[in-house]
A and B are shown apart, each in its own frame.
Chain A
Amino acid sequence: MSGQAHATTGTYLRVAAILVMVTLIEVGVFYVPAFHTVLVPVLLVLSAFKFTLVVMFYMHLKFDSRFFALLFGGPLLLALAVMVSLLFIFYGALRLRTGV
């Protein structure tokens, strides 16, 4: 058995509905030219939201031991930091080399 509180089937269905809606919004943002200036931040936020929903509810992290959240969250943050640093280094170097 896992955790004290427990999500119900209803919760799972509601989460599924939200995931579907958010995906629709994402695709919508992609297709509507007016949103293109904010495309990247909006999509990142929306997909982060979906990510969090699946992890919290489907993977049960909201109700489970906080230690599991640490076991997952630590390396996750590390992976994000690594990605960001690499992008900085590569695109920074590019700007340096091309003098832009």
Chain B
Amino acid sequence: MKSWLTTTDHKRIGLLYFWTAFGFFLMGGTEALVIRAQLVRPEGIGVSAETFNQLFTMHGTTMVFLALMPLSAAFFNFIIPLQIGARDVAFPRLNAFSYWVFLLGGLLLNASFIAGPLFGADRLSVAPDAGWFAYANLTSRQFSAGPNVDFWLLGLQILGIASLAAGFNFIVTILNMRAPGMRMLRLPPFTWMTLVTQFLVITAFPVITVALVLLMFDRFFGTHFFVPAGGGDPILWQHLFWMFGHPEVYILILPAMGIISEVLPTFSRKPLFGYTVVVYSGVVIAFLGWSVWAHHMFSTGLGPIADSVFAGTTMLIAIPTGVKIFNWIGTLWGGQLRFTTALLFAVGFIAMFIIGGLSGVTHAAAPADLQQTDTYYVVAHIHYVLFGGTILGLFAGIYYWWPKMTGRMLSETLGRWHFWLTVIGMNLAFFPMHLAGLFGMPRRIYTYSADLGVTRFNQLSTAGAFIIGIATLILFWNLLSTRRRPITAPHNPWGGATLEWAIPSPPPVYNFTVIPTVASRLPLWQTERHAPMEPLPERPPAPIHVPGGSWWPLITAFGLPVMAIGALSRLLPIVLVGAAVVIVGIYRWAYEPFEM
């Protein structure tokens, strides 16, 4: 147990991220099911409006920050050092720190569900409730008097620290710790997409940090950054939030695109079609991702010039995305396809992401968006791209890399059930939402009138959601049941081409007995110009130094939620205690002898 608390091994940290994120994924899914149960019929009064607000806020916040990002991080952690031929990341203790901060931030955020009585309120009344993007000035003290929004902003600040630290870590790791011969254009596509994603993280998160600070000052100290009565403009919040928020959705999708770009070649027994183009498209998407933020604000009266500019940039970003889709199809075309569950999910990703992308293109037309915005049409779009895209991609990654991470194979039979139920469930759940939205059903409403004519759509959506729930439980069961099986997975169960498949499953603590020298993009495959890499020796030729663990990442991380709790309870001494823990932790960390 102690070794898990002090671990600095990227593989263990990856597993920690995986299980924690999966747990939060189940929580977010449960929140969704309650939402869908509520909305299955008009004038439903299962939960109160106040509770409903907390449900959709926490569903969105949990899924984005506590499930999807950390599930991607699980793969960044476990797989990236293996793919680049390294023994660990550049800063192992910082890596552990990121995980602990994520865990503690997620716990703080969810503690709000039961913290009501501490604030003199009922249970289930102080969770964040202003929507996952918390528009001002609903979030002002005047309109959100309770601690709900405080939980949200403090929780997100903490999570932001975790993401930023990981961002710096992975940028340096990918650039500076590659094996000899691993030139940038020989990097596996997943590693490339991760690198691009981390640049988005380190540029976008500071912006939301500032937005949250301004909101905090408004709520805690009485400033008027977003309060009209004091001259503030609530639109500034939207600008700052979406300047972060739009890059954030690319942060959510690019890693999954990277996973697909690994899975498709392996199960087509063909290299990725147009590797260079796929890589450059990813870079272009990241750049353009910074230029489109106000397409979330078409209904706020930006004016015709701004509307046109952002509509234009938004349409532009469909191009590199479309390019990738053609390249993925080109990879499958003419390949020797093996329809493992991983490939099924990868193909599912392509299909579902196309649908989500198409609704996105319709959003790009500002006049059309005026009808779509803030309706269930947008909910359909985001779920097609985030569930049909990111989550299906992450599922593909799970089936692909589970043998490497745990040494056990997942059941393909259960995998098929999981896949088909998921695809059926998600289309049943989210497709009708396009129509419900166009028929006028707004977002974030806790009930609706039968006269609106969207009842049938809601019924279908709820059925679909529960099917997704069952499908996810099948996955959960599949994952858990492998823990009881013996470790029998071979080095390379799928015949993959990249370095992670050259070592045992699971890898030894030092990853590679000998750091390989890489001569091609597909080291393990026979290609036109290269023979496959020689197998690595069974044992390391000399003892390999493995850094030990450290308590300081965990201890330092603890200071952050303590500070947040102090802020929540408006008790400065507690904030100072938390700060002291952080400072002492940093000093002890800095002076601790730690050899790479």
**B203 contacts A92, CB within 8 Å?**
no
Could you tell me the distance between the alpha carbons of A75 and B305 in the complex, rounded to whole angstroms?
A: 26
B76 at the interface (CB under 8 A from A): no
Chain A residue nearest to B297 in the complex (CB): A89
Q: Is the CB of B203 within 8 A of A96?
A: no
- The answer to whether B203 and A75 have CB atoms under 8 Å apart is yes
State the Cβ distance, A84 to closest chain B Cβ, in Å. Answer: 12
Q: For chain B, what secondary structure do more than half of its interface residues adopt (helix, strand, loop), or is it mixed?
A: helix
Contacts A75-B203, A86-B239 given: A96-B303 contact, CB under 8 Å?
yes
Which residues on B sit within 8 Å (CB–CB) of A67? 175
Q: What is the chain A residue whose CB lies nearest that of B301?
A: A93
Residues of A within 8 A of B305 (CB): 92
In A77-99, which residues have CB < 8 Å from any B CB? 78, 81-82, 86, 88-90, 92-93, 96-97
| B290-302 contact mask (Cβ, 8 Å, vs A): 1 or 0 | 1000100000011
Contact of B302 with A93 in the complex, beta carbons under 8 Å: yes
Instruction: For A86, list chain B residues within 8 Å (CB).
Output: 239
Q: Considering the complex, give the chain B residue whose CB is closest to the CB of A86.
A: B239
B202 beta carbon closer than 8 Å to chain A: yes
A82–B294 CA distance with the chains assembled, in angstroms: 12
Interface contact B302-A89, CB-CB below 8 Å:
yes
Interface residues of chain A: helix, strand, loop or mixed (majority) = helix
Contact check, A92 vs B306: say whether CB atoms are below 8 A apart. Answer: yes
Q: Which of A28-63 contact B (CB under 8 A)?
A: none
- A residues within 8 A CB of B233? 90
Across the interface, do A82 and B243 meet the contact criterion of CB distance under 8 Å?
yes
Identify which of residues 173-212 in chain B touch chain A, using a CB-to-CB cut-off of 8 Å: 175, 199, 202-203, 207
List the count of A-B residue pairs having beta carbons below 8 Å apart: 26
* Bound-state Cα–Cα, A35 to B294, Å: 38
Residue numbers in B under 8 Å from A88 (CB-CB): 306
Closest A residue to B172 by beta carbon equals A71
Partner of A78, one of B290, B301, B303: B290
* Closest B residue to A67 using CB positions: B175
Give A67 to B175 CA distance when docked, in angstroms: 11
A93 in contact with B203 (CB, 8 Å): no
**Distance A74 CA – B301 CA, assembled complex (angstroms):** 31
Whether B294 lies near A78 (C-beta < 8 A) is no
The answer for the CA separation of A4 and B146 in the assembled complex, in Å, is 59
Q: Are A89 and B290 in contact (CB under 8 A)?
A: no
CA distance A75 to B233 in the complex (A): 26
In the complex with contacts A86-B239, A89-B302, A92-B303, A75-B202 CB distance below 8 A:
yes
Residues of B404-454 at the interface with A, using a CB-CB cut-off of 8 Å, are: none
Nearest residue (CB) in A for B304 is A96
Docked complex Cα distance between A74 and B202 (Å): 12
Q: Which of B281-297 contact A (CB under 8 A)?
A: 290, 294
Chain B residue with the shortest CB-CB distance to A81: B290
Smallest CB separation, A79 vs chain B (Å): 8
User: Are A78 and B306 in touch, CB under 8 angstroms?
Assistant: no
A residues in contact with B175, CB < 8 Å: 67
CB <8 Å contact, A89 and B294: yes
Give the most central of B175, B233, B306: most A CB within 10 Å: B306
Residues of chain A lying within 8 A (CB to CB) of residue B290: 78, 81-82
Q: Chain B residues near A90: list those with CB within 8 A.
A: 233
Do A89 and B306 touch (CB < 8 A)?
Answer: yes
Query: Which residues of the other chain, B, contact A81 by a CB distance below 8 angstroms?
Result: 290
How far is A93 from B305 in the complex, measured between Cα atoms in Å?
A: 10
Task: A38 to B294: give the CA distance in the assembly, Å.
Answer: 33
| A residues less than 8 Å from B294 (CB atoms) | 89
- Other-chain residue from A78, A89, A97 in contact with B203 (beta carbon distance below 8 A): A78
A-B contact pairs, 11 of them (CB 8 A): A67-B175, A75-B202, A75-B203, A78-B203, A82-B207, A82-B290, A89-B239, A89-B302, A92-B306, A93-B301, A93-B302
- In the complex, the 7 A-B pairs of residues with the closest C-beta atoms, listed nearest first: A96-B303, A75-B203, A89-B306, A93-B303, A78-B203, A92-B303, A86-B239
Apart from A75-B203, A82-B207, list 6 A-B contacts with CB within 8 A: A67-B175, A78-B290, A82-B243, A86-B239, A90-B233, A92-B305
